Structure 1
């Protein structure tokens, strides 16, 4: 694009500034990307924010650890995060129980709302 062969980083930065492109390094400790099927966790990534024409984009450099979102852990805080609070509220309202009992039923049924409601009724 710029013919990058002999361009030193300072000149590249000057050209980007002339075009209205600003970059900013972010001192990130962790970046998490969640999809329906997996969770990508970048520990100690290099993150850069790029601002151009009123838009901000983020560039992440690093190796992610891939985990399935249905991965169960013995850590209680991880279990609580695995079940969305909205699901807990729905089960609690439908079954007429408090949120603690609703969460327990959801955990026992691996997050299945219908099964958790049936279990409590």
Structure 2
């Protein structure tokens, strides 16, 4: 991160706090990066860290991505295949192609109701970060 190589993690955290940098672990179950060509990089069970340095948020995703070809529209991909392999949500209950887990994440992060979170996700084509930004 800062070239700390063998630096003590506690000392690194202390230095970051002194510089006004907050670091939080995020309990993410999946991260999807949509590429311009319509394909996706899907990180299942990633390690996600959010760093806030004086109002500028940076996210670090660590994991092994799976490459998926497609139109970039997850709702269309679900309709064509008949199943949603990317949601990881065993409880079902997806309305309009938005996984319930995504709705819960947005609602929890923003304090919005689940209906508001689902509407924001639908308006942003399932983009978690954009939906959160829209509600904050």
Query: Per the shorter chain, which TM-score range?
Result: 0.5 to 0.7
1:52 aligns with 2:53: yes
Q: Write 1 or 2 for the structure with the bigger share of strand.
A: 1
RMSD in angstroms over aligned alpha carbons? Answer: 2.8
CA distance in 2, matches of 1:32, 1:6: 31
Q: Looking at CA atoms only, which structure, 1 or 2, has the larger radius of gyration?
A: 1
CA distance in 2, matches of 1:52, 1:40: 27
Question: SS of 1:25's equivalent?
Answer: strand
1:74 aligns to what? 81
Question: SS of 2:7's equivalent?
Answer: coil
1:65 aligns to what? 66
- Structure 1 spans left out of the alignment, 5+ residues: 82-121
CA distance in 2, matches of 1:52, 1:70: 35
Summarize the alignment of residues 5-44 of structure 1 with structure 2, pairs less than 5 Å apart. 6-37=6-37, 38-44=39-45
CA distance in 1, matches of 2:5, 2:40: 37
How big is the shift at 1:77?
6.1
Q: TM-score, normalised by structure 2?
A: 0.50
Q: TM-score, normalised by structure 1?
A: 0.56
